[in-house]
Every structure is written in structure tokens, then in C-alpha cells.
Amino acid sequence: MENADDILVIRCLNRSREIQHRLNACREERRPYVFITQTMRDKYQGITSQDTFLLPKPDTPLIRRILVPVTLLEEEVYKAEICTYLARKTGAHLILLKAHDYGSKAEQNLHKIRTHIESVSQRIGQTLSYEVQEAMKNSFSLAKEACERQRDFGHDLLLLTASREYGMDDFLFGPPERHAIQRSLVPVMLVNPRADLFSLCD
């Protein structure tokens, strides 16, 4: 990914069937993709799939704070390259929300993401602003918490990893990312979890 035009912006109605249809269509997408529904805040309503919403607007930057939930899944580490790219392009502050798990996997993923942010900061000579928050819920409820606590975090973008594959619960009740898109008041950026599906260039 070399520029913000490589991000796919998807506008849709806040309906389960429509969102799921678009999620299914993006399963092989190489680019990060952003969902913007009609229920999201007014400042996002003028964005179309042709717009580059990451670029700052005069006096009113769209993306100032990015919430990055970090779970125990190994694919979460893929978010490191994307969130550093976003922070560099927008100057946004990153909020790393670590799942409240008993095991150490989420902590290890958090460490890898922090290490990447700090190494990029050192390499480019620009301090990328971030903080770490401890979630109240575990990895499997973290996306839901991120949406429930939007006013606490004050974020303008939610960065999630799409489900690696759909299980029976996902087919019956919908995957976590669909519910997050429906609940969120801000755009939700998704990345596919397979390493061969995208490449970010610094």
C-alpha cells in the first residue's frame, strides 16, 4: 500500500443483509477496506468511494484518533503496519486496546505492535503518538466493547481484523465485524488476516 487511494471505501445502508453481502465480496480483497453506514456521524456523509478520507481537511481532520483492538489472535499483528501507515498519513493518535485475557497471547501481540510503531518512529524520525488501554472484556468480546465505549475513547476510526473463516455461529448470527459495523458511529476499517492478501510499503 503506497497511498491512501489503495484503501477501498464502502458506503452502505445499516442493514445486516447488505453489510454481510459486502463483507462476503471483500473476502479476497488485498486492500484495507472501510465501511461507512448511513448511521455514522454527519462529517462522514460526504465521503464516496472515490474520496481519500485519510487526507486532512482544512481545520477539520477526519481522522484524529484511531482505536486498534488487540486480541489473542496471531493475525492481529498485521494491524501494526496499517496503523503506523495511518498514523503517518493523518497524524492521528493510536489507542491500542488490549483484550483482558488470562493468557499471554494478547500481551505478546501488543508488544509486537508497540515495537513496530517505535521502530517506524525511529526510522522516519517522527514520533508516532500512541497509548495503551486495558479492555474490560476478553478477545472474543473486544470488538463489541470498542463500539460500546466509543464516547470513552473518542476515536474517529476503528481498525479490526476480519474473521479468518466463518464458523457456525457466524453463519447463524453474523461475524463480529458485521455487528461492529452496525453498532459503530465511526468508520470501521477491516483488513483480511492472511499475509498474502496485502502489503504495506513504508
Q: What is the pLDDT of residue 7?
A: 87
Q: Which residues pair with 200 in a beta bridge?
A: none
Say which residue, 6 or 110, is predicted with more confidence. Answer: 110
pTM: 0.88
d(CA 124, CA 3): 17
d(CA 201, CA 189): 18
Contacts of 167 (CB under 8 A, 6+ apart): none
> pLDDT by residue (tens digit) across 63-73?
899 999 999 98
Q: What is the pLDDT of residue 5?
A: 59
Q: What is the pLDDT of residue 6?
A: 79
**Is 105 a residue whose pLDDT tops 90?**
yes
Please name the amino acid found at residue 107: E
Average pLDDT, the chain: 84
Q: What is the pLDDT of residue 201?
A: 43
C-alpha cell at 43: 462529517
Helix (H) or strand (E) run with residue 36 in it: strand 33-37
Say which residue, 41 or 157, is predicted with more confidence. Answer: 157
